[in-house]
Structure 1
């Protein structure tokens, strides 16, 4: 690997964790310098490890790593670890689990009382939102004579909120997904968050027509007004980085369903490898439907996403496994 920036150096450390974790507790790489936290009595070993890893890029006498572009160097400070270095805590973020052996924490978060079902696609334009609406219609047909039979339908596509745009004329004084994220970011009391959200959501609906009647499901649009969409404050990523809130989003959605007498939450996520979607995708309790066309890009991208989701997933009888909706199948494609 060529080292053009400090980020290349950080990635190189993370990719080669197995070669240094016996002597090094953690490594902090910054744009200007590097701090290596040596385990007790392992400082001499650290020098040997750095020489072996970075070879001619490591200046032994000056304790610096030279970059391969320009004349930049990153000074390396070796400290004995006092237990305060950052560990390898798993967060439901692609960037966090990339260099981990598992995408999931050792202790599974508390079970959800009501299902949270996420729809995702690697690329846009493959019918993800349409699949969610078709699923909601099929659900409405099956459940129309049962109670409860209504859903919470969430437009969580922050960059291209399709369902929100379709419902724009009916969104006056509604409550939005970005409102909910702000409440979660600023509060630790889940009951308070859920109570505040439910007090506004009662008036926000989306109508799904069955074979015999119309059912009004609760709808959570992405935003209430345009400035909220452009001037973002809280995002799924910022919440996942908050202590104790890593897996709170799914729990809040589930609890809203409980309080409002709804069956389940359907969530339309942002396409691609996006931290706007990772919080729910990497939550082992959330049911995932990946929507794909038969194009090479869509298929390869879906495989790429599945590698993340299957890394360290405990396959048991009650595991919540991802499934695939295949759309746009040409007549020439054999079964």
Structure 2
């Protein structure tokens, strides 16, 4: 099975033989609600589309819900300025990964992009990210830290002095930049306003920080509610950002601090933006269960470059034994 929205679009297109100026678009919200828009001069009934959706969902045995079903004539669509939204094939959600048939999708960027992910919070993911960045900088690499843990961001606080420096700090964070570009369609948003250098001493490399925000306020909460990751990818915003930091800052590696759990921002980081993932997990069954599912879905889309690091493992024979058993459950080869 392919992506559910693609399958339904193909079924409706074939069933009603839509003409060149007619179209159908199916979208799936982050909560698993399927919305359908059809523009056609044929006599298409909402009830028929609903029945078609119900039949398809029964075949898949999935827990999707049916949302709005809008049907317009071509004349109505023109009057109301209703247009088909361009989908980017590089965008992948967790629902896409469920039925991706192990088709490999390569990140097109030359720069290495690595996401740090944990199924649960509080396992030391952000600390591991920062320590990795410092070690890379110490080895002469130029590293960008990108905070996409948008619902619980932390890099703006960890590096408060640098982020808020009057001369070299940021003017605003990545979320406001995305909001301006994607929602408002602004041409004034500038990439060089959303990052700063940590200006480390005694290392041969350099670390840049691109925080989610400069400081927490109501505007930030409003902006993340309005942003949809699929819209961001359709406008190819991150391709522009990554190209900029690669050319202008000579960045070698981008490290992304992702949101925990299964959600649109986390799937966007892991499945769309990254070409490698570091899984951070506390050694218990709850974390292992979540990581197993995440790794399975990544394998479905051909992403097999990942590693697992256990945090808070007790340095004892019992701790090592427990960690080894959990790695076996993950079916990941690991030296302990």
Q: TM-score, normalization: structure 1?
A: 0.62
Query: Structure 2 CA distance, aligned partners of 1:180 and 1:88?
Result: 21
Query: Structure 2 CA distance, aligned partners of 1:114 and 1:34?
Result: 36
Query: Structure 2 CA distance, aligned partners of 1:249 and 1:229?
Result: 22
Residues 251 and 308 (structure 1), Cα distance of their counterparts in 2 relative to 1, 3 Å cut: farther
SS in 2 for 1:261: coil
Q: Identify unmatched segments of 5+ residues in structure 2.
A: 19-23, 29-33, 56-66, 75-82, 325-336
Indicate whether 1:138 and 2:135 are aligned.
yes
Query: Structure 2 CA distance, aligned partners of 1:52 and 1:153?
Result: 42
Do the aligned partners of 1:292 and 1:326 also contact (CA within 8 Å) in 2?
yes
Indicate whether 1:171 and 2:168 are aligned.
no
Bigger Cα Rg: 1
Note the 1:28-177 alignment, pairs <5 A.
50=51, 90=89, 92-94=91-93, 97=96, 100-101=99-100, 111-143=108-140, 149-172=141-164, 173=166, 174-175=169-170, 176-177=173-174
Alpha-carbon distance, 1:97 to partner:
1.6
Do the aligned partners of 2:92 and 2:272 also contact (CA within 8 Å) in 1?
no
**2:307 equivalent among 301, 312, 323:** 323
Query: Structure 1 CA distance, aligned partners of 2:123 and 2:289?
Result: 14
Alpha-carbon distance, 1:205 to partner:
2.1
Runs of 4+ in 1 over 4 A off after TM superposition: 20-30, 33-37, 49-54, 74-81, 84-91, 102-106, 186-189, 212-216, 234-237
**2:207 equivalent among 214, 217, 234:** 217
Indicate whether 1:238 and 2:237 are aligned.
no
Q: Which moved more, 1:231-240 or 1:286-295?
A: 231-240
Indicate whether 1:198 and 2:159 are aligned.
no
Query: Structure 2 CA distance, aligned partners of 1:79 and 1:200?
Result: 42
**Deviation by residue 1:4-32 (Cα, 9 ceiling, x = unmatched):** xxxxxxxxx97x96xx77757979699xx
**2:241 equivalent among 228, 252, 255:** 252
SS in 2 for 1:198: helix
Q: Identify unmatched segments of 5+ residues in structure 1.
A: 1-12, 55-73, 144-148
Query: Structure 2 CA distance, aligned partners of 1:129 and 1:91?
Result: 26
Do the aligned partners of 2:137 and 2:207 also contact (CA within 8 Å) in 1?
no
Query: Structure 1 CA distance, aligned partners of 2:162 and 2:204?
Result: 17
Aligned to 2:290: 301
Alpha-carbon distance, 1:128 to partner:
0.7
**1:227 equivalent among 217, 221, 237:** 217
Pick the structure with more helix per residue: 2
Do the aligned partners of 1:93 and 1:275 also contact (CA within 8 Å) in 2?
no
Q: TM-score, normalization: structure 2?
A: 0.62
Paired residues in the alignment total 279
